[in-house]
Amino acid sequence: MSASSPTIAQPRPAAGLQPPEPALPRLLSGIRPHGALSLDEHLAVHGPLPGGSGGRRRARERGMMLIAEVERAGLLGHGGAAFPTATKMRAVASARRRGIVVVNAAEGEPASLKDRTLLESLPQLVLDGAIAAAEAVGADEVIVCACESADMGIESVARAIEERTRASSERLPGLRLATVPGHYVAGQESALVSFLNGGPAKPTFTPPMPFERGVGQRPTLVNNVETLAHVALIARHGAAWFRELGTPTQPGSALVTLSGPIAHPGVYEIEHGASLSSLIRAGGGATARVRGALLGGYAGSWVGAAHLDGVALSNEHLAPHGASLGAGVVLLLSEDACPVGETVRLARWLADQSARQCGPCVHGLDALASALAELAGGIAGAGVAQRIDRLASLVARRGACGHPDGALNPLLSALDAFQAEFADHARHGPCAACSRPAEMPLPDRPPSDATARDRPSRA
């Protein structure tokens, strides 16, 4: 998937009142096809972030008010787990030691471009969110973590930090940029903390959770970059405004990376609960017949073509399909691709992305990938379904991080969504499409032992 310019969609659910003004875009307001919004341009679109004046006590009050507002807004994390943002903020705010804010834009997710789009195009909105969150939790330091493969995003944030620091009369927290190895699990919270503490970007055993003892042993708020961009807007417009879009349990908008056989792949801003078909229309329509969609990311789930028509993009609507919006990935698979071949390759890739720290993940994902390959090759023999079920049960909830569990989602849901295709391969072996080049991007970024010392941070 090549980086394409972000586009804005305004798909809305069938029911619901049309607000008087165009409700979207929010985050993507003012975005350009190329290049970042400067601080002045950003301020012209959104106006200034409230606050910034008064003493420490006043800042503290304002901070507590923002946390309450984020709670009323019902903002959920956009990194994949949809954890309530205010709960995390409150935990860091109530800790005795001074906190630190980590902006997670490590984005090892191959099918997602939203985090790097925010860094690249809207770095001042990102900094706004981080600065507001820092004030809310009483932190004096912000570290923006960008994936090392996001060259333009790194440039853009470095410039934005410089510009912000030069222009600002207000008291700013320390703003720093760190480039993080690009492998899949590097973006996991504890892996980021480990990396920022001088270790490899690999998950660690918890507790302590980052909000208890994170970077430099300090209570650490790790939020996805999009989550913080929403915080920047909630700080300006409040919870009631935020809730004007979305569903009661998942208010607001979301960035979604749409890819696959689509006229205009790219990053779209949708309202939670928008229909998948309206997103596809906004993307200029499918360019091939669609066999299924992977929703959420490579830790997400497949929904087969037969069920795609009625799909609405919110977690409550996706739950009956066993899926969630996750990190905002909507990857369409064309009829030309073989879903069995794609799943076999994905299974091997996910096994290779293991940080190789926990036995059940190392051995279990490897065994699963092998079982799926045998199944696809028609050489698995009877009982392979039970073997896969058993391996899945040995993998689930037995890693230090969520990777083994996440990896099960696309593999097991593929068996379900593409049942006929798997049955056909089990009986007759590989199909003609099996040898076609992979449709799903599987970047070659092996888990890295590199530490921050090998990659000096910037700004």
Partner 1 sequence: MSRRVRVNPIACEAHGMCAELLPERIVLDDWGYPVLEQGPLHGSQLEHALRAARACPTFALLVERERKRGRG
**Nearer of residues 105 and 400 to partner 1, judged by Cβ:** 400
**Nearer of residues 211 and 302 to partner 1, judged by Cβ:** 211
**Nearer of residues 305 and 394 to partner 1, judged by Cβ:** 394
Beta bridge partners of 303: 293
Residue 360 burial (10 A CB sphere; 0-12, 13-18, 19+): middle
Smallest distance, partner 1 to C-beta of residue 157, A:
24
Q: What is the Cα–Cα distance from 325 to 295, expressed in whole angstroms? A: 6
Q: What is the Cα–Cα distance from 387 to 118, expressed in whole angstroms? A: 43
Task: Tell me the HSE value of 116 on the side-chain side, using a 13 A CA sphere.
Answer: 28
Tokens standing for 368? Answer: 């699963």
Q: What is the Cα–Cα distance from 175 to 164, expressed in whole angstroms? A: 9
Q: What is the Cα–Cα distance from 142 to 416, expressed in whole angstroms? A: 43
* CB atoms closer than 10 angstroms to residue 361: 26
Cα-only R_g, the chain: 22
**Nearer of residues 9 and 407 to partner 1, judged by Cβ:** 407
Smallest distance, partner 1 to C-beta of residue 189, A:
6
Smallest distance, partner 1 to C-beta of residue 386, A:
14
Smallest distance, partner 1 to C-beta of residue 422, A:
23
Q: What is the Cα–Cα distance from 242 to 234, expressed in whole angstroms? A: 6
- Using CB under 8 A as the criterion, which residues of the chain lie in contact with partner 1 when the complex forms? 81, 83, 87-88, 91, 189, 203-207, 209-211, 222, 357-361, 363-364, 367, 394, 398-400
Q: What is the Cα–Cα distance from 132 to 231, expressed in whole angstroms? A: 7
Smallest distance, partner 1 to C-beta of residue 79, A:
10
**Nearer of residues 87 and 419 to partner 1, judged by Cβ:** 87
By three-state DSSP, how is residue 314 classified? coil
Smallest distance, partner 1 to C-beta of residue 426, A:
22
**Nearer of residues 299 and 361 to partner 1, judged by Cβ:** 361
By three-state DSSP, how is residue 208 classified? coil
Smallest distance, partner 1 to C-beta of residue 28, A:
28
Secondary structure percentages of the chain, helix, strand, coil, to 5: 45, 15, 40
**Nearer of residues 103 and 282 to partner 1, judged by Cβ:** 103
**Nearer of residues 53 and 205 to partner 1, judged by Cβ:** 205
Query: What are the strands of the beta sheet with 266-271, ordered from one edge?
Result: 266-271, 253-259, 329-334, 290-295, 301-304
Smallest distance, partner 1 to C-beta of residue 351, A:
14
